Structure 1
C-alpha cells in the first residue's frame, strides 16, 4: 500500500505541473535541420579583411596635392586680379606622363571666369617656358597622348571650338599645332 500512496502522490505532482502550467512546454524547442555540410575551403593564413590596393600613381588624379601647390604659386589672373581656384575643371594630371595638364579658373564670382592650363612633366609643375595657355576650358582626350596635351577652347555660345596641341620635346613644352 505504501507504493500505491507514493504513486498517487507522484501523480498529483505531475498533474500540478501539467503541460498547461509549464514554461518548458510553452517555449519552442530549437529546430534542428540536418543538411549535408558544404565543402569547406581550406584554412587561410591571410587576414580576412581585404586591404585596399595602393593607388595607381599613373592614373589620372585631379585631387593630387601637387596641383594645389602649383596653382598657389601662379601669378593672379590678369583680368580679375584674383588667385586661381585649386580645383581643376578638367585635366589629365598624371605623375607618370611626360606631359599632363589641368584647367583651372580664376577664383571669382564672375559668370565666365578666366581659365588657364597648368602643365606638368612627370607630375612636377612646369613654372616657366610654357606657351600662353589662357582661355582653354577642356582637354581633348582623343588627341592627347603621354607626351602631348590637346587643349580645347569652346565658347559654347556660337559653336566655335578649337584644339591646340602642346608636346613635351624632352627639354620643355612646345606648341605643335592648332587643330581648328
Structure 2
C-alpha cells in the first residue's frame, strides 16, 4: 500500500505549482500585451502597373504642322504689339480665330483689344513658319476672321468687317519669299 503520509506533500506541491502558474498569467501578461509593436516602416503604396506599350491602336503621332492656337509664341508675339490705338489697351493673347502653323510660309491669328468695350478693336498677327513677323507688315487692324477656303501655305485670306452692314471683304496677304505683300482685296 502506498505511503499515505506522502499524499498531503504531493497535494501541497501541486497546489503551490498551480498558484505559481496562475500568478504568472495576470491581466498585464496577456498574449496581446506581450506581442511587440510593429516598428518596421509601412509598406510603400502600390503603384499602378506600367502602361502597356502602345499597340496598333495606340496614340496617333502629333502633327507638327497642325493649326495650334495655344502655341506660346502667339502670346509672346501679342505681348510685343503696340497697344490698341483706339482704347489704349494691350491685346488679348487668346486668339479669336487663326490658322497658326509652324509649317506655313504665312499664317495668322486674330486678336482683340483687352477691353470690355462692346465692339473691341481687332487685328491680325502674322507669322512666317511659326515666327512672328514684326517688321514690314502691312496694316492688319480691323480683321475679324480667316477665310480658310482662300488660304494656303503661302497666302492667308483675312476677313474684315467694318461694322457697317453689307460692307465687308477679304484681304489676301502673301509671303513672297522675303516678306509679306497684299495680293488681293475683295468686297463682299
TM surpasses 0.5: yes
Q: Which residue of 1 aligns with 2:53?
A: 47
Distance 2:158 2:151 in 1: 8
Q: Which residue of 2 aligns with 1:102?
A: 109
Match of 1:78 among 80, 85, 88: 85
Residue 112 (str. 1) matches residue 109 (str. 2): no
Any runs of at least 4 consecutive aligned residues in structure 1 with deviations exceeding 4 A, and if so which?
48-51
Once the two structures are superposed, what CA deviation does each residue of 1:101-154 show, in whole Å capped at 9, x if it has no partner? 000000000010000000000000000111000000000111111100100013
State the secondary structure of the residue aligned to 1:97: coil
Unmatched 5+ stretches in structure 2: 1-51
Distance 1:137 1:112 in 2: 11
Match of 1:67 among 74, 77, 93: 74
Distance 1:123 1:173 in 2: 14
Count of residues in Structure 1 that have an aligned counterpart in Structure 2: 135
Instruction: Using the TM superposition, give the Cα deviation of residue 52 of structure 1 relative to its aligned residue in structure 2, in angstroms.
Output: 3.2
Distance 1:132 1:64 in 2: 23
Distance 2:112 2:98 in 1: 12
Q: Which residue of 1 aligns with 2:133?
A: 126
TM-score by length of structure 1 reads: 0.71
TM-score by length of structure 2 reads: 0.68
Unmatched 5+ stretches in structure 1: 1-45
Distance 1:148-1:48 versus aligned 2 partners, 3 A rule: closer
Specify the structure having the higher radius of gyration (Cα): 2
What is the root-mean-square deviation in Å for CA atoms of aligned residues? 1.7
Instruction: Give yes or no for contact 2:100–2:109 (8 Å, CA) kept in 1.
Output: yes
Instruction: Give yes or no for contact 2:142–2:162 (8 Å, CA) kept in 1.
Output: no
Q: Which residue of 1 aligns with 2:185?
A: 178
